[in-house]
Structure 1
């Protein structure tokens, strides 16, 4: 994958979006045919019956998504999201019946459109957004940088040119950070080993007092240039602040995480070591803040840091952008 797409994959890329023409629907009461199709889809998905799902597709849908592509598409959904626990009808969006769908590994909006014969002729999956949830614009908690060295912001900011994450609701304010040398390179030697990368193995710390609400460890680090397509975040720590802000740290080194779920940590507590696990092609830190603990249903919160140096200048209450070199105030 090209360097411009090297970091945490946006969940919109999990599945193709098929927008096929069908009549508009305005009722917000779930129709029996939609209820029946959603229930069958859940049963077939959980039972790994991809062929049965494919038979639910209309002829136009099958033409748009041939069987080999459908197998890949539906297999990726099962591998990445897991088993469906519950599907709750929420509303109609044009021709689509939209379901809040809780999977093993997150909550998504599953959208299904039916033709006149009650065959599926439109289907797409996207992160679920709770429209009633509080969506603060920026962090309230005072945050320190989560490291002690100088790091370079590879992705960060409010525009797509500065930050490819902006199109994902939960990760729209995310940062991807590396360590670079005077030539702007993030590695020494050939860059073919994780140990060649300056960020690999660097300690990462809690930026504030918080509760550890989720930990994933044991995921193998990738070889540079390769990515784990089935595990987006890799080894992960999620912290919850007293202000109900959820801090996501992704791609830790395998078996390096030092905290456990349920722990209360103080600012400066060692969380683990920077690695190259998950959907990552080189060692780096992915960090973002959102309003829920569910990566796939949250809304991003813009993170501001206290007492840091930015390109050699002292700043306070600052949100870094692409190419900034940042380090804690000494």
Structure 2
């Protein structure tokens, strides 16, 4: 990997005053990620304060962000608040080709007066728990009847089984008359699942929320942003539920929100590595999809092919529906 130019124009240092992310920093981080991935370096430059603009003119900003950072690392997949350094915020930033810490400092008018790129240094954390299945009672994360396109414990029924971090995952769609859509197959709105409400399967806390990834044209994929618009929930038992490929702009909750069983969280979409609107749903033993080990996700009570079932693990070609 080529060495990275480090930008550090932070003009002041104060003691750490807590480790919660400030909303204004969250908004600027989303703006930065969007502009970076769109190669809109003018938008980044426009967010600078006057000192930053003089110290890092537009052409130099293009060279550093475009040629050196993006040319080496690729698109940003996620930016997760990691810690504070003084008033500045450090984001663990996952790129297509690696992970960096990006420090952002803002002045009193939310202008960037400091940027700092370094290789990510993981803090020592407890090893992720071994998780075989959920102990938390779960409901299906939707109402109405859905179809299990992939699901089960064998590769024949569930191609996710080939990947440890996705094993036992589900791909779920809606069908009518044997098809998942009607009308123009190149429009997301033609698919029965698109825009359907996605619900919290249990009481939980949102530990990751990604929005702003465009929905694909059906048949195309976005392998850079694998999970697309995503929510990860942590149960009180320390189990993690990932819901991926959500509709752009549909997330109703953010990181840190406490959600209740059955609460509408987002809508089904077609973002990320997805060829048509569907919900990718999985249970995992840690928040980070890339480091996770998948586990069996059983549902407390549902209809499967018209029959009431309890503590049930759906499999490929099941028609499933929530019941109380």
TM-score greater than 0.5 by the shorter chain: yes
Say if 1:239 and 1:248, in contact at 8 Å, map to a contact too.
yes
Partner of 1:79: 75
Could you say what secondary structure the match of 2:3 adopts?
helix
Q: Measure the CA separation in 2 of the matches of 1:107 and 1:199.
A: 29
Alignment RMSD (CA, Å): 2.9
User: Within 5 A, what are the aligned runs for 1:207-218?
Assistant: 207-218=201-212
Query: Cα deviation per residue 1:70-100 (whole Å; 9 max; x = unaligned)?
Result: xxxx9796436689xxxxxxxxxxxxxxxxx
The TM-score normalised by the length of structure 2 is 0.64
Matching of residue 311 in structure 1 with residue 311 in structure 2: no
Residues 132-171 of structure 1 deviation map (CA, whole Å, 9 limit, x = unaligned): 5321211110000000010000011111111111121111
CA deviations 1:210-251 (Å, max 9, x no partner) are 001111111111111111121111111110001111110011
Alignment partner of 2:193 out of 192, 199, 203: 199
Structure 1 match to 2:142: 147
CA distance in 2, matches of 1:228, 1:45: 29
| Aligned mates of 1:209, 1:82 — CA distance in 2 | 25
- Give the distance between the partners of 2:247 and 2:305, measured in 1 at CA: 27
2:93 match: 104
Q: Corresponding residue for 2:224?
A: 230
Matching residue of 2:292: 298
2:182 match: 188
Unaligned runs of 5+ in 2: 7-69, 80-90, 100-124
1:253 and 1:323 map into 2 onto residues whose CA distance is 24
The TM-score, its normalising length taken from structure 1, stands at 0.63
> Mapping of 1:217-296 within 5 angstroms?
217-296=211-290
**1:109–1:227 distance in 2 versus 1, CA, 3 Å:** closer
Paired residue for 1:168? 163
Query: Structure 1 residues 233, 76: CA separation in 2 closer, same or farther (over 3 Å shift)?
Result: farther
**Does the C-alpha gap of structure 1 residues 45 and 132 become closer, same or farther in structure 2, counting only changes over 3 Å?**
farther
2:75–2:95: 8 Å Cα contact kept in structure 1? no
Q: Count residues with an aligned counterpart.
A: 226
The 3 A distance-change label for structure 1 pair 166 and 263 is same
**Structure 1 unaligned residues grouped into runs of 5+:** 1-40, 47-73, 84-101, 111-129
The alignment status of 1:159 with 2:119, answered yes or no, reads no
CA shift, 1:192, in A, is 1.7
Hey, what's the Cα distance between the residues in 1 that align with 2:257 and 2:209?
Answer: 11
In the superposition, relative to structure 1, how do residues 196 and 104 fare at CA in structure 2: closer, same or farther (>3 Å)?
same
Q: Is the 1:107–1:294 Cα contact (8 Å) retained in structure 2?
A: no
Give yes or no for the alignment of 1:134 onto 2:142.
no
2:186 match: secondary structure:
coil
The match for 2:30 is: none
Structure ranking higher on relative contact order (CA contacts 8 Å, 6+ apart): 1
Alignment partner, residue 177 of structure 1: 172
